[in-house]
Amino acid sequence: MAYKLCPQRSSHKYKRRQNPVNNSIRLYCFVIVPLAFVATVSADEHPAKPNIVLILTDDLGWQDVKCYDIDEPSPMETPNIDALAQRGVMFWQAYAPAPTCAPSRCAIMSGVHPARAQKTHVVGGNPPRPHHKAAHAMMPPWYSGRMPANEFTLAKALQKEGYTTGHVGKWHMAIDHNAYPQPEDQGFDWTRSERGATRPMRPHRLTDFATTKQNDPYRLDKNGFPHHGNSEDALSFLRENKNEPFFLYYATWLVHTPIHTRSEQLLDKYCRKLGVERPQNPQEWTGKGQTNPFYCAMVEQLDYYVGKVVRYLDQTEDPRWPGHKLSENTYLIFTSDNGGMEQVPGEIITDNYPLDRGKISLMDGGTRVPLVIAGPDVPKGSQTDVTVNGLDFYPTVLSWVDAEPAKGKHFDGADISQLLKQDPTDASLVLDAHGKPRDTMVWHFPNSVALESTIRMGDFKLVRNYNHAHDRSAVPLELYRLYKTVNGKQVRVDIEEANNLVDVQSQRAMAMNERLSEILTEMKASYPCNNPAFRGVGAEGKLVPTVTTHEQHARRVKFTFQEHGAKVVRANLIYSQNGNAGDEEWFRIPATLANGNTVTAELPDGTTHYIINLIDENNFLVSYPDVPGGNHMNRTKEKFAMYAIAVSVGDSH
């Protein structure tokens, strides 16, 4: 079949591509292969504990994997991932917990929804402020920069069960890759973060290709693929720890930016296959659809390195189960942390079509991911339209290893082990917290330019846009019918999210919106606020309060404010315990509104700097002291502490 270019999109919605065949949506895959945990047993005796391998790729789009082709064939070649899908259950409607990296990773490892954890986007741990002081009408709320260090993670749970736990590759569950907490703080015995062949090419991506020279750190192997430290670290962990039950969390750096390949052979291969020439400008690619040869080569490299891990499990005898291979007692999960990143400034990377949009959006292109799950009791070559989420992995793994959740541990996902064991196509086997078949999922992304929440209930999806009053292309609510269930089978209707039904099915939209509010309220989710400094602010923006006085006595602080027509309804103390440090991080606690237009708060122990936020009845947020917009801070690299109130030495203790 000839490859056809996907049409370039120029607006929020795109014209639906006609398809004479009703296709089911394809999703990202997790593959799990059981490995054992006890001492050596006889050839006839199955080990007591299976091993767990979770391969979490970075920014891999659902149309970037060959076996997920729908409508248009993908140019990428992924034979190893495709073969993996034949060994287990391939999910066509699998979702990441969030449309960006860090919140999805934290949610998978903790089992806690990003909205509940207040970890809804990457980085975080900063005072609330608009991206641009005057150009943005709304600002995201404060959100955490990390997964709490005391979180009882999946790794800690498996440590408790006697597993050796290993992390390889990307971490990003803190404000940056190297900030606290690190993998060893979250339950991992073994960790390595080598970026390998994904390190930037110098001076640009049309130079610095790998060679066959002995001293080349990226020396090409016999198959023409660069040496990749990230992949080798995963294999090292398996080699060193195969004698005991193990959990490997293999977080690939591929296929995140920078978009390049150290294999000149692969680059030339995809230039020929796509019928394109190498760009004159190595810093950009403007070809539409899936025509970026650098990215296609990256995807094939990812597939190759995944294949090396799977082959090791297939070819290595299980020391705890003589006569059997490791793969016979290993659950292996393969998936992505979010939908594909379609483009960055100057670069079109890929296309998630027919899904709308991509990473950093709650449209399905930003959250739908490939997922394959395989194991000794998982049907091979099975495909399913049952809706699942990365939040489901933690409780499912506990069932696989026959472990009870820690006391008081909360899960926002569901145990899908019975679905996998009994009938992967029977959605009634996935139960919610009340023991009823789950038909609802929620996403919350009050961040970036998206500023939205969504809810999926059965065949329908509702999108809530918080910035609709200031965004001409947005409406308050969007309602889409993704599928039509007929005799228990889902038939594709509008996976493109192109036909907004909110006007013709207003009652359904209102009901779904109310349910979305109920769930987010229970999670104590945070929402965007209006920006009073926005250049187009209306009359309500002129009514915001001003702070008039401030005083501090030991750890107690008091502010007074004056209202100018809008009542202050809540206040938050934003504080740092390491102001001006390289990894400066800010937290939030509620402040107390008192009579006489006063606000009081108790500074947490160790506070070095603090800010007060006042939110009025029109949802405008006022910061005292004021802080610049996000783009200013990104440009200057200044710390927020220089704008905040400093605590005198000894006063915060």
Every domain of the chain and the residues it spans: 51-108+140-400, 451-528, 539-646
**d(C-alpha 531, C-alpha 613), whole Å:** 12
Q: Greatest CA separation found in the chain?
A: 79
**d(C-alpha 574, C-alpha 611), whole Å:** 5
The length of the chain in residues reads: 653
Tens digit of pLDDT for each residue in 381-419?
999 999 999 999 999 999 999 999 999 999 999 999 999
Give the three-state DSSP class for 445: strand
**d(C-alpha 176, C-alpha 184), whole Å:** 15
Q: Which residue has the tokens 């140019």?
A: 75
Mean pLDDT of the chain: 92
Whether residue 71 contacts residue 267, with contact meaning beta carbons closer than 8 Å, is answered with no
Taken in order 348, 350, 356, 358, the sign of the CA dihedral is: negative
Q: To 10 degrees, the CA torsion angle through 282, 339, 231, 345?
A: 20
Give me the pLDDT at residue 569, please. Answer: 98
- CATH 3.30.230.10 fits domain 51-108+140-400: no
Give every CB contact of residue 179 below 8 A, 6+ residues apart in sequence: 145, 146, 583, 585
Which has the closest alpha carbon to 451: 146, 176, 228, 140? Answer: 140
Give me the pLDDT at residue 470, please. Answer: 81
β pairing state of 440-445 and 609-616: unpaired
Give me the pLDDT at residue 44, please. Answer: 62
Give me the pLDDT at residue 43, please. Answer: 55
Structure tokens at 43: 């050839």
Give me the pLDDT at residue 40, please. Answer: 52
**d(C-alpha 251, C-alpha 248), whole Å:** 9
Give me the pLDDT at residue 31, please. Answer: 42
Tens digit of pLDDT for each residue in 31-41?
444 443 334 55
Give me the pLDDT at residue 649, please. Answer: 66
CATH topology of domain 451-528: Arylsulfatase, C-terminal domain (3.30.1120)
Give me the pLDDT at residue 7, please. Answer: 34
The alpha carbon of 392 is separated from its chain's Cα centroid by a whole number of angstroms, namely 14
pTM for the whole structure: 0.92
Give me the pLDDT at residue 42, please. Answer: 57
Low-confidence ranges of the chain (pLDDT < 50): 1-39, 652-653
What CATH number was assigned to the domain covering residues 539-646?
2.60.40
Give every CB contact of residue 488 below 8 A, 6+ residues apart in sequence: none
